[in-house]
Chain A
Amino acid sequence: MSSSNHVKDRFFKHINMNEIIEPEAYEKCMKLLPLVMDNEASQEDTSYFTRQIKNWPWVGEYMESEKAFRSIFKSKLAYKLVPDGLADIIKEKIRGNS
Chain B
Amino acid sequence: MTENQRQSYTASEKLHIFDNEFFPQIDAMYNFAYRLTFDEDDAKDLVQDTYMKAFRFIESFQQGTNAKAWLFRILKNSFINDFRKKSKEPSKVDYQEVETFYNSDNLDEDITSDLRVDAVQDMIGDEVSNALNSLAVDFRTVIILCDLEGFTYEEMAKILDIPIGTVRSRLHRARNLLKEKLKSYAKSLGY
Interface residues of A (CB under 8 A from B): 10-13, 27, 30-31, 33-35, 38-40, 62, 65-66, 68-70, 72-74, 76-83, 86-87, 89-91, 93-95, 97-98
A94 to chain B, nearest CB (A): 5
Encode B27-63 as 1/0 by CB contact (under 8 A) with A: 1011100110000100110011001100100000000
Assuming A34-B168, A40-B152, A72-B121, is B26 touching A82 (CB within 8 A)?
A: yes
Tell whether, in the assembled complex, residue A82 and residue B153 are in contact, meaning their CB atoms are under 8 Å apart: no
B190 close to chain A: CB less than 8 A: no
Chain A residue at minimal CB-CB distance from B179: A69
Assuming A40-B153, A76-B123, A78-B129, is B117 touching A86 (CB within 8 A)?
A: no
Assuming A38-B146, A82-B30, A94-B51, is B117 touching A69 (CB within 8 A)?
A: yes
Main secondary structure of the interface of A (DSSP, over half): helix
Binds A, one of B72-80, B81-89, B90-98, B108-116: B108-116
A31 to chain B, nearest CB (A): 6
B1 close to chain A: CB less than 8 A: no
Chain A positions within 8 Å of B178 at CB level: 73
Tell whether, in the assembled complex, residue A90 and residue B51 are in contact, meaning their CB atoms are under 8 Å apart: yes
Assuming A76-B125, A77-B128, is B153 touching A38 (CB within 8 A)?
A: yes
B158 close to chain A: CB less than 8 A: no
Chain B residue at minimal CB-CB distance from A93: B52
A6 to chain B, nearest CB (A): 10
Chain A positions within 8 Å of B117 at CB level: 65, 68-69, 72
Chain B positions within 8 Å of A69 at CB level: 115, 117, 120, 179
B170 close to chain A: CB less than 8 A: no
B68 close to chain A: CB less than 8 A: no
Chain A positions within 8 Å of B18 at CB level: 94
- Inter-chain CA distance A48–B31, complex, in Å, is 38
Chain A positions within 8 Å of B168 at CB level: 34-35
Instruction: List B residues 142-191 near A (Cβ within 8 Å).
Output: 146-148, 152-153, 168, 171-172, 178-179
